[in-house]
């Protein structure tokens, strides 16, 4: 008895009839419609499709981080998925080049039909932000209303549920806190790092003192290094770090910060390649979203100037505020401030090089 095979047609598999019939222009029918409205709709529908894929990748990444143990193969999977997300973001930024082929006059041909619709009402993008860790208390609000007031029913409940659950930021923080790199027998990383920093700064001061400088220039340079030394001391103090968290100056916990610093400093160790790539991918994702927001600001400036947004926001003013304020992984990016030259980097004992691994216990 032969087995029957089901033949799937390209059009049916991709549901192209639904996709290609979903561009409903509000400015008119046929040739009476504003020519540029088709482009505007397709660009934004494409954004939403890519948002769906980003949610798919982030959701799977978060699921892997919820496991009690993350082995090397899973870290590799996470890195590949975040790399895909960043390439998608590059595409989203590039799509603005296409949208900007539409001029201000072109847009005004149909803009009045859009109100009060706004990109601010993108449920999927709001989900991406909240899943990453942009919870309501960190948001730049407009109009005195919480961002989720734009949604009703199941969509609003979904956002509120995400607000109450762990984010990718919190999961990464817990992962950094419990991986074993800070608990290496015979190697106190924080102590060794502090000694290396002091050695580096003392050498810089000695060099300035021996240099052919005026007393005024020498004093200024030494004062700058002394301030740098105080900064490192504050960072390495757990009590000072916790105080900075309470005052809203930083978010990432002390232990997670030290762990991220160690990973960045010893990235050349084979076992740390993937954790380093992952932390870099988070910073890159943050920067790409900020770039996308900034490019949006530039486009709005060219298209609308100081006009109010169709959703009632302050237009470019609101968008500018979100570029930096809505970054999630700033603390990971700021690790670069703490980097020191390889020539000062404390050498890892051979037994630690041999035993370092991705697996950890709670």
pLDDT at 302: 81
Name the band, by pLDDT with cuts 50, 70 and 90, for residue 269.
confident
**Beta carbons of 86 and 281 less than 8 angstroms apart:** yes
pLDDT at 179: 81
pLDDT at 182: 75
Q: What are the tens digits of pLDDT across the range 192-220?
A: 999 999 999 999 999 998 888 898 999 99
Coil, strand, or helix at residue 172?
helix
Average pLDDT over residues 146-156: 83
Distance CA 228, CA 124 (A): 42
Nearest of 305, 269, 257, 362 to residue 105 by alpha carbon: 305
Judge whether residue 20 has pLDDT over 90.
Answer: yes
Q: Is the dihedral of CA 210, 212, 215, 218 positive or negative?
A: negative
Nearest of 99, 105, 112, 138 to residue 298 by alpha carbon: 99
Judge whether residue 344 has pLDDT over 80.
Answer: yes
pLDDT at 59: 97
Mean pLDDT computed over every residue of the chain: 87
DSSP 124-155: HHHHHHHHHT--GGGS--BTTB-GGGG--HHH
Q: What are the tens digits of pLDDT across the range 276-295?
A: 999 999 999 999 999 998 99
Provide long-range contacts, Cβ within 8 A and 24+ apart, for 254-259: 255/176, 255/177, 255/182, 256/172, 256/173, 256/174, 256/176, 256/177, 257/176, 257/331, 257/335, 258/182, 258/189, 258/190, 259/176, 259/177, 259/179, 259/181, 259/182
Tell me the β-bridge partners of 184.
187
Domains of the chain: 17-355 (1.20.58.480)
Higher pLDDT, 361 or 186: 186
Judge whether residue 18 has pLDDT over 80.
Answer: yes
Nearest of 171, 350, 175, 344 to residue 260 by alpha carbon: 175
pLDDT at 289: 95
Higher pLDDT, 354 or 39: 39
Q: Percentage of the chain with pLDDT > 70?
A: 90
Higher pLDDT, 349 or 236: 236
Q: Percentage of the chain with pLDDT > 90?
A: 57
pTM for this one? 0.87
**Beta carbons of 280 and 75 less than 8 angstroms apart:** no
């Amino acid at each position: 008895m032969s087995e029957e095979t089901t033949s799937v047609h390209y059009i049916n598999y991709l549901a192209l009839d639904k996709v290609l019939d979903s561009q409903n222009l509000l400015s008119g029918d046929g040739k009476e419609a504003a020519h540029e409205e088709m482009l505007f709709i397709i660009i934004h529908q494409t954004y939403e499709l890519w948002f769906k894929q980003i949610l798919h990748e982030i959701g799977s990444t978060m699921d892997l981080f919820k496991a009690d143990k993350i082995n090397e193969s899973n870290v590799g999977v996470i890195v590949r998925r975040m790399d895909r997300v960043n390439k998608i973001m590059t595409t989203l930024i590039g799509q603005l080049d296409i949208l900007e082929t539409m001029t201000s006059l072109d847009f005004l041909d149909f803009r009045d039909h859009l109100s009060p619709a706004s990109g601010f009402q993108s449920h999927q993008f709001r989900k991406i932000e909240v899943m990453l860790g942009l919870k309501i208390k960190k948001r730049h609000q407009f109009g005195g209303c919480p961002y989720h007031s734009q949604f009703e029913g199941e969509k609003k409940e979904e956002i509120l549920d995400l607000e109450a659950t762990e984010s990718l930021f919190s999961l990464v923080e817990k992962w950094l806190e419990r991986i074993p790199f800070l608990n290496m027998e015979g190697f106190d990383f924080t102590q060794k790092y502090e000694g290396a920093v002091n050695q580096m700064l003392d050498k810089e001061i000695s060099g300035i003192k021996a240099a052919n400088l005026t007393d005024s220039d020498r004093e200024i340079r030494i004062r700058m290094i002394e301030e740098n030394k105080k900064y490192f001391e504050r960072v390495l103090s757990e009590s000072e770090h916790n105080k900075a968290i309470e005052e809203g100056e930083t978010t990432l916990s002390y232990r997670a910060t030290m762990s991220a610093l160690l990973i960045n400093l010893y990235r050349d160790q084979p076992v740390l390649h993937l954790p380093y790539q992952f932390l870099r991918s988070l910073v890159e994702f943050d920067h790409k979203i900020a770039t996308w927001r900034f490019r949006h600001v530039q486009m709005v400036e060219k298209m609308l100037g100081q006009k109010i947004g169709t959703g009632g926001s302050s237009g470019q003013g609101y968008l500018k505020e979100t570029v930096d304020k809505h970054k999630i992984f700033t603390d990971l990016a700021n690790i670069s401030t703490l980097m020191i030259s390889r020539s000062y980097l404390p050498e890892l004992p051979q037994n630690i090089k041999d035993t370092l691994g991705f697996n950890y216990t709670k």
